Structure 1
Amino acid sequence: MEKIAFVTGANKGIGFEVARQLGGQGWKVLVGARDAEKGHAAVEELKAQGMEASFVQIDLTDGSSIEQAASTIRNEYRGLSLLINNAGMPGAFSASFSATAEQDLRNAFEVNFFGTFRLNQQLLPLIRENQGTIVNVSTDMASLNFMQNSPFVLNCFDYNASKTASSAMTLAMSIELRDSEAQVFAVTPGFTKTDLNGNAEGGQSKEDGAKVIVGYATDGLRHNGELLDANGVYAW
């Protein structure tokens, strides 16, 4: 049976590397991206490496775009069994609560929470039918436990809050799937150099970050409702 995965934000960064690693394991990868030119270029690069890939245009700030992408997948890629919600945006990476602008908070929530929420609602029935997996890509800073107890906190309220809300979504979805063969969980790859953080020094490579996500997505184990990092279960 053909293995089909849909990865959002897959034209560059961790998302592209996730797609490449899945393709290397024999998955047909649907490359989700807002920019059609960049999305098609990513698909061609994967195909040049001998992988099976197709482009699905999706803009997570646009409800009609999300509905169209989901309709395309339901009609043309009915065997979808893996959805990796990788696409995200940082808001403005605010320096503190007081420095957070409301519009930046709304921008972060629009992609990281509302757009992902819409896509999950659209594709959850298909994933459930195919006994598949949904991975919501997270961050260490989505963890309230981490934010309260770690000395290495980036108090980016716009970005962090949107990802914490995504954690609540992951839990709500996992409760709905408790009696199903399908599952949903969150993975934080750890601090990784990406365009989202300006390729900040000290981060791991995109390859290593993607490896954490792909590892859990394909290990065949039951992780429903968990938040995972490279070392295992990570406190919410």
Structure 2
Amino acid sequence: MSERTIALVTGANKGIGLEIAAGLGALGWSVGVGARDEQRREDAVAKLRAAGVDAFGVPLDVTDDASVAAAASLVEERAGRLDVLVNNAGIAGAWPDEPSAVTPENLRAVVETNVIGVVRVTNAMLPLLRRSAHPRIVNQSSHVASLTLQTTPGADLGGVSGAYSPSKTFLNAVTVQYAKELAGTPVKINLACPGYVATELNGFHGTSTPADGAKTAVRLATLPDDGPSGGLFDDAGPVPW
């Protein structure tokens, strides 16, 4: 069994996920780069290794049961346990995204990745996380998931969203239920809001960098044993639900 802290970051081949992997790797951790695209995954691992990170590739499609099961087996064979899981993989879906324009197919696709994919990966990795002394799960949420912010007059959340935003609200709700189930165990699970980050997901229109967007997830991945669980956070602290 590896003595290094072992982390797995989904959607880690680019953008915020790659920067989360870099941030955790800078701590001396061994970091699994979870990604579907083989070439992008290999390129990300090479980039991280060039920066001194103990990175390894994990073929992972969060929408596929067999792929997720194989990823869990790979992590178990490599390390015997998992200390930190960062569920970062997500999609924006098709645009326009107004509720009146969203198709059932698009809504299903977004929920399949952003919610069901998180549940699928989390459940597959929980047995390995339970072998860790300080297990942490971080789910990548968004300020647009907050019903409080969405109903605040004048709040600028980037327009109306019929699929992406509700999928993140759904993820928040599921994460709260995980926190309730895991209460009394060493497993802590929280949600990170990275902010409006310039990534492929938004056509690089964001106002902050992927490195900035990774900070909250890295902090939640390194929480002390008396840290919170079941919360929604950004760099400034708790975000209203």
| TM-score for both structures, normalised by structure 1 | 0.95
Give ranges in structure 1 of 5+ residues lacking alignment. Answer: none
Q: Corresponding residue for 1:139?
A: 142
Task: Give, as a single letter, the amino acid of the residue that structure 1 aligns with 2:50.
Answer: A
Q: Is the 8 A contact 1:93 1:159 kept in 2?
A: no
- The equivalences for 1:142-153 within 5 A come to 142-151=145-154, 152-153=156-157
CA RMSD of aligned residues (A): 1.4
Structure 1 match to 2:210: 206
Say if 2:36 and 2:59, in contact at 8 Å, map to a contact too.
yes
Aligned residue in 2 for 1:11: 13
Q: Displacement of 1:134 after TM fit?
A: 0.3
C-alpha separation in 1, matches of 2:97 and 2:34 = 30
Identity %: 38
- Which one of the candidate residues 207, 217, 222 is aligned to 1:218? 222
Deviation at 1:178, TM superposition (A): 0.9
Q: Structure 2: which 5+ residue stretches go unaligned?
A: none
The secondary structure found in structure 2 opposite 1:92 is coil
1:149-164 matches, cutoff 5 A: 149-151=152-154, 152-153=156-157, 154-164=159-169
- Distance in 1, matches of 2:7 and 2:111, equals 24
Contact 2:82–2:125, Cα closer than 8 Å, also in 1: no
Structure 1 equivalent of residue 190 of structure 2: 185
Offset of 1:150 from its aligned partner?
5.0
CA distance in structure 1 between the partners assigned to 2:96 and 2:142 by the alignment: 16
User: Where in structure 1 do 4 or more consecutive aligned residues deviate above 6 Å?
Assistant: none
> Which sits farther off after the overlay, 66-75 or 158-167?
66-75
Measured after TM superposition, the shift of residue 212 of structure 1 is 2.1
Worse-superposed segment, 120-129 or 165-174: 120-129
Question: Where does residue 173 of structure 1 map in the other structure?
Answer: 178
Contact 2:16 / 2:214 at 8 angstroms: preserved in 1? yes
C-alpha distance in 2 between matches for 1:211 and 1:232: 12
Tell me, yes or no, if structure 1 residue 229 matches structure 2 residue 231. no
**CA–CA distance in 1 between the matches of 2:78 and 2:95?**
38
1:205 Cα shift?
0.7
Q: How many residues in Structure 1 have an aligned counterpart in Structure 2?
A: 235
Quick one: distance in 2 between partners of 1:216 and 1:64?
Answer: 29
Q: 1:62 & 1:94 partners in 2: Cα distance?
A: 26
SS at structure 2 position matched to 1:157: coil
Choose the corresponding residue for 1:123, options 125, 132, 143.
125
C-alpha deviations, 1:105-135, integer Å up to 9, x for none?
A: 1110110011111111111222133130000
Moved more, 25-34 or 59-68: 59-68
TM-score, length-scaled by structure 2: 0.93
Q: CA deviation at 1:98?
A: 0.8
Amino acid at match of 1:167: N
**1:53 alignment partner in structure 2:** 55
